Amino acid sequence: MLIIALAGTELLPAEREWLGHAATAGVTLFSRNFKNRLQVTGLIKDIRDASPRPLLVCVDQEGGTVQRFRGDFTDLPPLAALGAMYGENPAAATELAEEHAWLMASEMRAIDVDLSFAPVVDLARGNRAIGTRALDADPATVGALGAAYVRGMRLAGMAATVKHFPGHGSVAADTHVETAIDPRPFEEIRAEDLAPFREAFAAGADAVMMAHVVYRDVDALPAGYSARWIRDILRTDMGFRGVILSDDIGMFGAVSAGPVSARIDAHLEAGCDLVLACQPETIPVALDAMEHRDLPGGDAVARLAGRAAGDWTALSVNPQRGLVAARLAAL
């Protein structure tokens, strides 16, 4: 039920214990865990060897400003470049969105990463944390490109995780460091911000990550703590049957629930399936907080695990990889 994080490029003894804990469902990797492809591939193997059960290895490999692994991997343009292209040539931009996703996911699957938390389908309307991570300001454009991105990831054997539900782009505050409150009426949010999520779900998105934003017209709680958003709107009204993840409980936008244990409880009781604990110092407390819970089986892990292991050598000589990389470089 917890997706945890690691301190550096090698497993520490305490981290091996964390990976063996019954509440650990996976690990998300950051730039601090990466030196080069060979090192991170070895780290991923060590992570899997340290766990007595299957777990998820995750990363944010969006492209642009949020790309944790570089060097041996394609330098991916930000999603905003695809949105800019869409205004001039929608068909070409849609095709390239699918190829961007296929290449990103193929490179991650080739080193045994199960899941990149992508795509961002927030609207590009001035949020300080989102910026060029967003495809466009127009819901229809984001819907079309986001659906193409989902298709491309799934073609590469990777589940797609759309974020940050119900839309982080229309409020300026950065939930990493400040409280974010969106005062707009629900009807406006439903007509605009929710539209790309509907398109992504129709395209087969497997998971959704919640926003730490308060949407005042719907609930006084941040969306990830809100049963109204998760159970009533996302599950019932929108019919989403995939996996629901929290955003990182170490972010400022999550502190309103109280200490780490209370944040975990609030997410799970609202309906989240997996909770991200990405600050190493919070993980011992997070694991302790799970001791009183009856843990579910590995259904969420099984649903998001990579469909087939990749092969870096085969991908490296695949001519499609070079063609796609060249097209992306021209953006």
Contact 101, 161 (CB under 8 A): no
Give the position of tokens 């400040």: 178
Distance linking the first and last C-alpha atoms of the chain:
39
Taking CA atoms, 248 is separated from 160, 195, 275, 297, in Å, by 18, 24, 7, 22
Beta-bridged to residue 163, according to DSSP, are: 120, 209
The C-alpha R_g of the chain, in whole angstroms, comes to: 19
247 is catalytic: yes
Please identify which of the residues 182, 247, 265, 273 carries the catalytic annotation.
247
Tell whether omega for the bond before 119 is within 30 degrees of 0, i.e. cis: yes
User: Which among 74, 223, 324 is positioned nearest to 232, based on CA atoms?
Assistant: 223
60 is catalytic: no
Number of H helices, E strands in the chain: 13, 12
Assign 17 to helix, strand or coil: helix
Contact 101, 150 (CB under 8 A): yes
Residues in the chain: 331
Question: Which region holds residue 159: left if phi is over 0, alpha if psi is between -120 and 50, else beta?
Answer: beta
- Amino acid identity at 147: A
Q: Which two tokens stand for residue 49?
A: 């060897």
Catalytic machinery residues: 176, 247
